[in-house]
A and B are shown apart, each in its own frame.
Chain A
Amino acid sequence: MNELLRVEQLRVRIETRERQVTALDLDHISLQKGEMLALVGETGSGKSLTASSILQLFPTAAARITGGRVLFNGTNLLEASPSVMNGIRGKEISMIFQDPMSSLNPVFRIGKVMLEIIRRYTGAGKKQAKQLAEESLKFVGLPDPSGIMRRYPHELSGGQRQRVAIAMAMVCKPKLLIADEPTTALDVTIQSQILYLINKLKEEEGMSVLFITHNLGIVSQMADRIAVMYAGSIVETGRTDEVFRFPRHPYTRLLLDAIPRLRERRDRLPVIAGTAVLKEAAGGQGCSFAGRCPRATKRCTAEKPQLRAVVSSHEIACFHPWEEER
């Protein structure tokens, strides 16, 4: 079995004083060894929450996993003890975050955290750890690694910081790297360098990558497979080329249509009418896209479509998928 990660029936609730919502109701996603899966969706669709659930690190205390399984190499992480979980974080699964400005502690030198991670997992001596840290800083393309380690985060540029973050995430050679919108906060020129780096990790180190983004352009270039999320659920998943060539779910199709293309002349870009609403507010049943879907029928508002395979490795959750190519 080559499956590294499988997430099944994951449900996450967010409970605040004012309201409670099911923010995530995920059918399943899976990730093979050495593969890059892109998790795509608009803001608030639950892609970051999915990533957080895998490592169980939520940004707020209000989020709670209420069901499902996260299988990593066959073990369910949701049932793992906190100490086992801590042994997996950073060593087996690591993560790169969206905003390199806020993801590094401003009052510590870069080297401090890096050395702590290395020594924690490798038992290396001070000298050896320093060497490992410098190697990974060099790998991410930072000149003068030993100088960087003595710097504070605010002395580095955004791009440098994100490289540092990648170096920290990869320093223990994890099997799975979760990249949560790693380029969103960066300049376009730096974006491509960071993407190149992540691709290099996958190709040269054989890491599996769960790549979270709302940028379909990036996905089409890099990902082996794609999973499209809408309002906390997966609506379509399959091989990237296949989904791009033949998107079957109405939402995916509308999403792809919204990408501007060089060849075409259009006066204005198409938009998807309406806004995404989490299900609780809409009554709790039916397809969550039904309210905005041009193909919705009565059935769509009454019953929630399950993720099913239409052809091998191409799954959709829709009662009325498109049957012809774009």
Chain B
Amino acid sequence: MIRFIIKRLLLGLFVLAGVSVITFTVARVVPSDPAARWVGPRANAEQIAAARIELGLDKPLPQQYITYMKGLFTGDWGTSIRTHQPVLRELLSFLPSSLELILAGMLIAVVIGIPLGVISAVKKDSWIDQLTRTFSVGGVSIPTFWLGLILQLVFFRQLSLFPLGERVSTNTSLLYPIDNWTGFYLLDSLLQGNFDFFKDAALHLVLPALTMAAYPLGLVIRMIRSSMIDVLGEEHIRVLKAYGIPAWRRVFVYGLKNALGPTATSLGLTFAYALTSTFLIEAVFSWPGLGMYASQAILANDYPVTMAITFLVTVTYILINLLVDVVVAMLDPRIKLYQNA
């Protein structure tokens, strides 16, 4: 197990190196001059030249790359051109907000998706299955940003059930402020016993989380359905019937565990997808998170931030995939991690 994890991490380093080379090259190849943007539009040539030296852009490319890589490992991820703040610190301050959104969305997807997928598989080809399948294809097909807008139209404008956007209303944050412990509003407010804040933050989370849930929900339903159909057709499930074990236990206890492995794998892939969904969802819901920060940076051509985000997402992707493999191995005793590492 440990050997497997180490091996995979080393492999991940290889991928990271590749990604860093690509982003680094692309960032250096672009026509726009970072030094010019660093000092602003009204700077003169001397100031730009000084900035070039300050940013290390006068050095040869390989040396720049080495400096860049060194920085990545020592926590110096560069400085934002737009805000002149250290990139890593800014990323870390926006990360919890996005993670809260993603985790809430994934939770909804799993909690709703698993039962729907199972029902769909058990009632294969019935009207309920057709409906669920359509729903699931709809989930993976719906434009995230549009879903967000439609939810706002219905639940904010028509029904006034949920707020339009942001993580918490200004009133609440002024009247019932919380200390920033983890950056997860729900967790922080619960730990601090601030239920007014918790309630408000939870209300604000509902629509963005539902929007976030659409794609993974569609995927979970599809994966659970297809793996459950395979599993339910297997002899060992029929055998359980011969032993008198009731249908719901055959399906939800004995069948489901077999189907969870493939689902976990695809959920892991979805996590990376969810990271990019934050770009769209946070824009729609004015959610102050990583996605919003990233799209602002990208539009402003703030290349250190763009590179850092690409890097962060890749790291997350690698770690999530590793986690998924470990979870899958825990679900299925036949998989021996160290053998196929």
Query: Could you list which residues of chain A lie within 8 angstroms of chain B, going by C-beta atoms?
Result: 55, 57, 59, 86-91, 94-95, 97, 99, 102-108, 113, 116-117, 120-121, 152, 154, 165, 168-169
Contact = CB atoms under 8 A, between A and B. Distances in A.
A108 B256 CA distance: 12
Given A97-B235, A102-B234, A102-B236, A107 B243 contact: no
Contacts of A103: 235-236, 239
A99 B236 CA distance: 10
Given A113-B245, A120-B245, 16 more contacts: A59-B235, A89-B243, A90-B244, A90-B245, A95-B239, A102-B234, A103-B235, A105-B258, A106-B333, A107-B331, A107-B334, A108-B254, A113-B240, A117-B245, A152-B333, A169-B243
B257 interface: yes
A175 B235 CA distance: 23
Contacts of B240: 105, 113
Given A106-B258, A108-B257, A154-B333, A117 B243 contact: yes
B254 A105 contact: yes
A107 B257 contact: yes
Nearest to A168: B243
B235 A99 contact: yes
**Chain B: interface residue count, which band?**
20 to 34
B307 to A, nearest CB: 42
B302 to A, nearest CB: 48
Contacts of B245: 90, 113, 116-117, 120
Given A105-B236, A106-B258, A108-B257, A121 B332 contact: no
B157 interface: no
A89 B334 contact: no
Given A99-B235, A102-B236, A104-B236, A57 B332 contact: no
Interface in B244-264: 244-246, 249, 254, 257-258
A107 B243 CA distance: 18
Contacts of B244: 86-91, 117, 120-121
A16 to B, nearest CB: 13
A185 to B, nearest CB: 11
Contacts of B239: 95, 97, 103-104, 165
Contacts of A113: 240, 243, 245, 254
Secondary structure at the B interface, as helix, strand, loop or mixed, is helix
B237 interface: yes
Nearest to A92: B244
B89 interface: no
Contacts of B246: 86
| Residue from B234, B238, B244, B331 with most neighbouring chain A CB atoms (10 Å) | B244
Nearest to B240: A113
A89 B242 contact: yes
A86 B246 CA distance: 7
B96 to A, nearest CB: 35
| Residue from A95, A107, A121 with most neighbouring chain B CB atoms (10 Å) | A107
A107 B332 contact: yes
Given A152-B333, A152-B334, A154-B334, A106 B236 contact: yes
Contacts of B333: 106-107, 152, 154
A2 to B, nearest CB: 25
A59 B232 CA distance: 10
16 contacts: A59-B238, A86-B244, A89-B243, A90-B242, A90-B243, A97-B235, A102-B234, A105-B236, A105-B240, A107-B257, A107-B334, A108-B257, A117-B245, A152-B334, A169-B242, A169-B243
Contacts of B243: 89-90, 94, 113, 117, 168-169
Nearest to B125: A61
A154 B332 CA distance: 11
A94 B334 contact: no
A88 B243 CA distance: 9
A55 B236 contact: no
Interface in B63-104: none
B28 interface: no
A4 to B, nearest CB: 17
Contacts of A86: 244, 246
A146 B204 CA distance: 53
Given A104-B236, A107-B331, A152-B334, A55 B242 contact: yes
A94 B242 contact: yes
Contacts of B332: 106-107
B241 interface: yes
B336 to A, nearest CB: 10
B257 A95 contact: no
A108 B258 CA distance: 9
Interface string B304-337: 0000000000000000000000000001111000
Nearest to B331: A107
Contacts of A97: 235, 239, 242
Nearest to A82: B247
A57 B236 contact: no
A169 B243 CA distance: 7
